[in-house]
Amino acid sequence: MLEYGDHAIEHEEQNLELLTGEGLVEERNKAFYNRFQFPPPPLQLHFLTDPSFERRFLNQDLGDWTHRRVQERPRILVAGCGTFQAITVALQFPTASVVGIDLSAESLATCRKAAREIGLRTLSVQEQSLTEASYAEEFDYIVCTGVIHHLDDPEAGLRALARALKPQGVLDLMVYNRFHRIPTSAYQRAIRLLLTGEPTDDLDRGIAFAQTLLDEHPMQGHFGQYVKNMGSEALLADTFLQPIEHSYTVESLASMVDRCGLEILSPHLSLWGKTWSSYQWNVTFATPELRTRYAGLSDLDRWKITNWLLQERSPLLWFYLQKVGNGLERKSERQIDEEFLDTPFRKARATRRHFRRERDGSYVLSPALTEYPADPAAGLDKEKIIAAADGKKPLREILQQLGIEPEAGLVHRLRLELTTSAFPYLTAISHAPRRIAADRWPR
């Protein structure tokens, strides 16, 4: 771990002013999330009536067109689950056994209450520190988003996740992008300096003061729009009052991942990135030399350059990871794109239901049924491609039939915007998927 007193620039660039030791950081985090439960309660909790749908698209995110990497009944850990993330994951993967851990007893009480209300029996939650967890090769899939960057030693947290992962398991990890956090860290430093002499753990005073400052001096730029539309005290507090924040570039994240015996598989194209239209880890160049040099780099080196060039506009640092030396060779994006062309697909269809939040905060099952995915696949002739997908012809043949040239950049974008969890329009038919019933499905 860095000795931050000897690295003033690193200390200033990140948000580490209250970094004073592991025990105190953990207590501050516990008090913070007991006061500001996160994430805020959603108005709806969605689930699909096809219990295998989300798992199939998770596998396609990973470039697995056989849908076998994450098996039918996985054991899943949601590390730092907060109030509702473990519930969301359990609803996404209803045939899984899901464990959620978090420091905040108040957040877990909210989680347990909501799980009881919707009849969710595939989830168990525990009040537990990530770094003190004793799991060893227990989980097929681990979700840890927005957590380890709040630890005194993020690398220790990542090592704990690596230990908990089965040899061929998948870790879904998100940490703060350094370029995204420059404005928020600057505001945090301003708030702390303006509140010099007042207790740093007075959270009620802090949230009121932060709101006053933002009213007088609104944050500008790309992230400013996000702040303007927050509409939640918990989101505001998590952005401007969180006691400790580390942030990363692709380069520094990859270095930490490597030290923990892991490797990056592929980017996670999140719904947040989709909403912000910020999910492309490959930039385009008009100059032939730039285009050729960029295309000749490894995936990781291209992502580094994208991160440096796009800065605040680069995607979230959200990636799937696996253990090094697990016997499964990592596929490059180019290889996954080629396999995409050689795979037959059919249109993905599912029905979505939801539990709605009542005025008293409880959740009840709505009778409404909607088709999923609901939003149309616009642009790039995607509607024509979906219509032509018959489950027999490979995509390469369909593109040829439609007169679409399979240029590398276009193929990559089509894969992302037709076959991933954020754009679930086409499901691969490289084997005959067996439909299974969800155990203890919420009624």
* Residue 72: Cβ within 10 Å count: 15
Cβ–Cβ < 8 Å for 228, 218: yes
SS3 state of residue 107: helix
Distance, in Å, from the CA atom of 2 to the CA atom of 340, rounded to the nearest integer, reads 43
Tell me the per-residue pLDDT of 269-319, one tens digit each, with 9 for 90 and over: 988 888 878 899 999 999 999 999 999 999 999 999 999 999 999 999 999
Tell me the per-residue pLDDT of 83-102, one tens digit each, with 9 for 90 and over: 999 999 999 999 999 999 99
**Location of structure tokens 């506009």:** 313
Question: Buried (b) or exposed (e) across 175-202, using 16+ Cβ within 10 A?
Answer: bbbbbbbbbbbebbeebbeebeeeeeee
Residue spans per domain, the chain:
4-36+179-240, 281-313, 339-428
Cβ–Cβ < 8 Å for 232, 40: yes
**Dihedral angle of Cα 387, 390, 396, 400, to the nearest 10 degrees:** -60
DSSP string, 133-186: ----S-EEEEEEES-GGGSS-HHHHHHHHHHHEEEEEEEEEEE-BHHHHHHHHH
Whether the full predicted model's pTM is greater than 0.85, yes or no, is yes
The H or E element containing residue 311 is none
The residue among 328, 180, 179 whose CA lies nearest residue 265 is: 328
Tell me the per-residue pLDDT of 314-357, one tens digit each, with 9 for 90 and over: 999 999 999 999 999 999 999 999 999 999 999 999 999 999 99
